[in-house]
Structure 1
């Protein structure tokens, strides 16, 4: 059995399997287009098809882990993840590569679901809130810092190394995961897999929960739209090298984190945080439409409010959502992650569908849609009297 310290470290590492799997090879995409003899649109399928499979695997693996235990799910999914990563290093056909990425998504989903479920299983009160806050920070750091690490690997060993490194991390997580208890800390859920999957539907039928979930995850679409096409914008439009590109992403990360922490330290009530998120999204949208095209610095600055809003949502919103339902640890974990990654998929597809010289406006379109969806869900919550536990706390 893992002690509290190693367990916390395992949870934090597993929570980052999404960005580790999607963002480390971003700066290598132009070279991969040449190596696979394909085009940018097809190459980007390796990003958003991974995200699509990841979102649906996350939805169902949570309740399955409620039935069969975190350790068993982690053992199977980490094994799949390791094998698929190693296979990605050696394929030469882009379609085989995309299929392997989809298989890899199944493995990554297992790690992420297990990490969120273990937070609710093993931590209570302030400890849970503290870990969720760290996960929130990693949620924004991961998609930005992973390309930085990936660039270092690519510059020294080529893009293939960006699949070897996550495989090695997964091996460590697999070894640590085998030390988890086979059973849940609480009594196992009864019934068959069909019954456990139906529990996801029960969670989603809670309209208040679902509306607030959409609000807290919708801006992930904008963030991942930016991530998915950023290498082409920085490197082809603004003439950045791979190293300069990774540094630009890191700068956005650090400044966004600072902005979010300033807002969070104001200790606003939850509803004022909700308003702050929308305001930041609107600022990013206006700047992206009107200013981002003119220079790389304006493009960078345009994304900072959106990335800050994503951190704020994870910091206060995910804890509210995790506490809204009791007894469905895996189901709640699955739904939370599903919302984030299905919106990430949508954002990637929309941005990638624009011509390469208009990718900035693709990001702007996703930002505008995110703001509209967020506002619509907020209006729906207000009309129904905010039926989400603790949302109106501090009013």
Structure 2
């Protein structure tokens, strides 16, 4: 660690960072089993309900650009407290929404507040760690974060047996309140604050984007989440409406997918001892394309085959996130808040586009998903092979 942080020892610090990093999966996966129910309860369409997903990710990404630079000027803690307060109140509003338009509006505000947690968490990792230790910490945090989507659909399905979808949003408010209380005891990690104006802090985003090493890697590693987000948007419809599974069975299938994601960072850190990260990244992109072919051709035949294939894509997408984020942060000596904002913004923004793309043709969701996975894997692999050895890419110390 490059500075002292006494949240409550190392494990407590990692758990705290995982908690504030977990708002995207928690705010999405927990209510995925309820999507078909919400279509009927709100007397609306599948496309409209899916807007609560895509709009969340879209405005979550916008919030990242808003909070990230501000965390360089005002510090990590004030931004975290402000964002989490907004998240809690917005979650309560979502719970009492009377129509889909109100729910979409509530999700937009919820996204803007929750984005503060993600951008601050990534910036804190850059503040506290460097080199191989940072890569290891990111892998640990990502593995811990994945526990949320592994348990969330099971918990969501259980809640739906006894309550309505509204209870799920009240639970999100409670989780946000827990994180907010925990943040009060957080010790500031930013040593040198930006001394310019607020507008000037936001302008640092463009300074970071002008770095060719950062921007090149940003494009590549921001495309990978598209395949993952497309699955999130279509999963409940494929498994529940398509294969006829119950909400509880869907939760178990989704938990398998989350398990694949959880082991990804662990596998990477073990392979890292014997295989160059460049080779691991290349292999993951190839795996995504190959599994996408399997999904598009055979995925509609069996939920088990689909789960296995999509699980491999998920594992690959999460695995490249560890070295990808580490590589991108290595390109920037300063402006870690802005770099963190851009890293998470483009992942969320492009991911939200994938969520909309997969549902454009509702009758062929499985095939749509497979095509997206093929395209993402191939494009990422080609771009990676073209630029990863270029001189403008700053290589991290081994």
User: For 2:136, which of 127, 130, 134 is the aligned residue?
Assistant: 130
* Counterpart mapping for 1:107-146 below 5 A: 107-138=113-144, 140-146=146-152
Q: Partner residue of 2:294? A: 287
Q: Partner residue of 1:225? A: 230
Q: Partner residue of 2:328? A: 321
Q: Distance in 1 between matches of 2:338 and 2:186?
A: 20
User: For 2:377, which of 356, 371, 376 is the aligned residue?
Assistant: 371
Q: Distance in 1 between matches of 2:165 and 2:334?
A: 43
Q: Is the 1:221–1:345 Cα contact (8 Å) retained in structure 2?
A: yes
State the 1:144 CA deviation.
4.2
State the 1:46 CA deviation.
0.3
The TM-score, its normalising length taken from structure 1, stands at 0.92
The TM-score, its normalising length taken from structure 2, stands at 0.92
User: For 1:190, which of 188, 195, 206 is the aligned residue?
Assistant: 195
Q: Distance in 2 between matches of 1:314 and 1:141?
A: 16
Q: Distance in 2 between matches of 1:163 and 1:334?
A: 26
Q: Cα distance 1:161–1:251, how it changes in 2: closer, same or farther (>3 A)? A: same
Q: Partner residue of 2:90? A: 84
State the 1:179 CA deviation.
2.4
Mind listing any 5+ residue stretches in structure 1 that lack a counterpart?
A: none
Q: Partner residue of 2:3? A: none
Q: Partner residue of 1:158? A: 164
Q: Is the 2:143–2:266 Cα contact (8 Å) retained in structure 1?
A: no
CA offset digits 1:222-272 (Å, max 9, x no partner): 111111111011011111000100100112232454466446523310210
| Residue-pair matches, total | 390
Given the alignment of the two structures, is residue 216 of structure 1 paired with residue 221 of structure 2, yes or no?
yes
* Counterpart mapping for 1:1-395 below 5 A: 2-5=7-10, 6-138=12-144, 140-181=146-187, 184-258=189-263, 261-262=266-267, 264-267=269-272, 268-355=275-362, 357-382=363-388, 385=390, 387-390=392-395
Q: Distance in 2 between matches of 1:266 and 1:122?
A: 25
Q: Distance in 1 between matches of 2:268 and 2:204?
A: 36
State the 1:123 CA deviation.
3.2
Q: Cα distance 1:11–1:18, how it changes in 2: closer, same or farther (>3 A)? A: same
State the 1:184 CA deviation.
4.7
CA offset digits 1:37-96 (Å, max 9, x no partner): 001011000000110000111123111111111121112111111111011111111101
State the 1:365 CA deviation.
2.5
Q: Distance in 1 between matches of 2:125 and 2:87?
A: 22
Q: Distance in 2 between matches of 1:17 and 1:33?
A: 24
Q: Superposition RMSD on alpha carbons, in Å?
A: 2.1
What SS does the corresponding residue of 2:195 show, helix, strand or coil? coil
Mind listing any 5+ residue stretches in structure 2 that lack a counterpart?
A: 1-5
Q: Distance in 1 between matches of 2:152 and 2:120?
A: 21
Q: Is the 2:289–2:375 Cα contact (8 Å) retained in structure 1?
A: no
Q: Cα distance 1:135–1:215, how it changes in 2: closer, same or farther (>3 A)? A: farther
Q: Cα distance 1:343–1:145, how it changes in 2: closer, same or farther (>3 A)? A: farther
State the 1:214 CA deviation.
2.6
More deviation in 163-172 or 9-18? 163-172
What SS does the corresponding residue of 1:135 show, helix, strand or coil? helix
